[in-house]
């Protein structure tokens, strides 16, 4: 069966520091991968998606970036965090008819 | 993707059936109805989806009206663990070569009362 992992589970970072969040999927090959963000009290916002290694599409211009170095690995990064980057970051995978399955999330607090 | 309308909150007694409505009057012929839920501090969980026929799985049943302009998610025997925000999403399936994110609205906060 397929599983999706995210780490870290929680993170507290100072403004201006770098960020790296990792997502890995097991039990499937060539999945579509997604990064979403959920700010406090708000809905999910799609940030990036990828249909294959090295292929990244950005939905929202911002100081975040994403990379897919391996088929089942998706990384979300920032060189300098802003206060507004705080939120709950969710990775998801999908294939076929695009039912998407979400990971447990990373809660990021930027101070 | 078509827009959906859901009540902001609902209560249901434990052990009873929870019926969550969703309006999607602008749905087009190739759009599916998906339901997800999000328990506090967790990632969204896929529940069920359908095109025009009613669907049932181990978690829930999905009833779609004949004109497809609305649907109802049914949790047959609600438990306290079913307390969550339930999202109804309308989305076209894609065919090869691309991908698309899910658009989550505000959903319905379902509270199961003991």
Among partner residues A43, A51, A90, which is closest to B99 by beta-carbon distance?
A51
> What are A43's two structure tokens?
């809905």
Q: Can you give the pLDDT at residue A53?
A: 93
Q: How many CB pairs under 8 A join A and B?
A: 53
Q: Are B16 and B74 in contact (CB under 8 A)?
A: no
- Stronger pLDDT, B31 or A10, i.e. the higher one: A10
Coil vs helix vs strand at A84: helix
Q: Which of A26-30, A33-37, B6-10, B100-104 has the lowest mean pLDDT?
A: B100-104
For B47-79, b where at least 16 C-beta lie within 10 A, e where not — what string? bbbbeeeebeeeebbbbbeeebebbbbbbeebe
| Alpha carbon distance A92, A104 (integer Å) | 9
Mean pLDDT of chain A: 92
Total residue count of chain A as it appears in this document: 111
Name the band, by pLDDT with cuts 50, 70 and 90, for residue A103.
very high
Total residue count of chain B as it appears in this document: 114
Q: Which of A73-82, B48-57, B92-101 has the lowest mean pLDDT?
A: B92-101
- Provide mean pLDDT across the span B6-26: 97
Q: Can you give the pLDDT at residue B41?
A: 86
Percent of chain B with pLDDT over 90: 76
B44·A49 Cβ contact <8 A: no
Spatial CB neighbours of A48, under 8 Å, sequence gap ≥ 6: A34, A35, A56, A57, A58, A59, A64, A66, A76
Q: Can you give the pLDDT at residue A2?
A: 87
A101 contact residues in B (CB cutoff 8 A): 46
Give which of A78, A74, A85 is closest to A4, Cα–Cα.
Answer: A74
| Alpha carbon distance B82, B109 (integer Å) | 10
Give which of A22, A27, A26 is closest to A9, Cα–Cα.
Answer: A22
Q: Can you give the pLDDT at residue A96?
A: 62
B105 contact residues in A (CB cutoff 8 A): 43
A44 contact residues in B (CB cutoff 8 A): 44, 102, 104
Interface test with B, best of A44, A93, A105, A107 (most B CBs within 10 A): A44
Span A48-91, pLDDT tens digits? 999 899 999 888 768 899 999 999 999 999 999 999 999 999 99
B45·A102 Cβ contact <8 A: yes
| Alpha carbon distance A43, B11 (integer Å) | 21
């Amino acid at each position: 069966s397929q599983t999706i992992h995210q780490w870290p589970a929680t993170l507290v970072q100072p403004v201006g520091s770098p960020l790296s969040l990792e997502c890995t999927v097991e039990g499937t090959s060539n999945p579509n991968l997604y990064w979403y963000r959920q700010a406090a009290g708000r809905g999910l916002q799609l940030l990036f998606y990828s249909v294959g290694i090295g292929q990244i599409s950005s939905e929202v211009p911002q100081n975040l970036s994403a990379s897919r170095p391996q088929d089942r690995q998706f990384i979300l990064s920032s060189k300098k965090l802003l206060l507004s980057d705080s939120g709950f970051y969710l990775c998801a995978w999908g294939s076929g008819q695009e039912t998407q399955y979400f990971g447990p999330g990373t809660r990021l607090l930027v101070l | 993707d078509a827009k959906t309308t859901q009540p902001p909150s609902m209560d249901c007694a434990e052990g009873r059936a929870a019926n969550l409505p969703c309006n999607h009057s602008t749905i087009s012929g190739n759009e599916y109805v998906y339901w997800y839920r999000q328990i506090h501090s967790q990632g969204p969980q896929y529940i069920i989806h359908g095109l025009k026929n009613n669907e049932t799985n181990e978690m829930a049943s999905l009833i779609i009206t004949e004109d497809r302009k609305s649907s109802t998610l049914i949790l047959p025997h609600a438990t306290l663990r079913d307390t969550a925000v339930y999202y109804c999403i309308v989305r076209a399936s894609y065919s090869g070569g691309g991908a698309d994110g899910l658009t989550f609205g505000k959903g319905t906060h379902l509270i199961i009362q003991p």
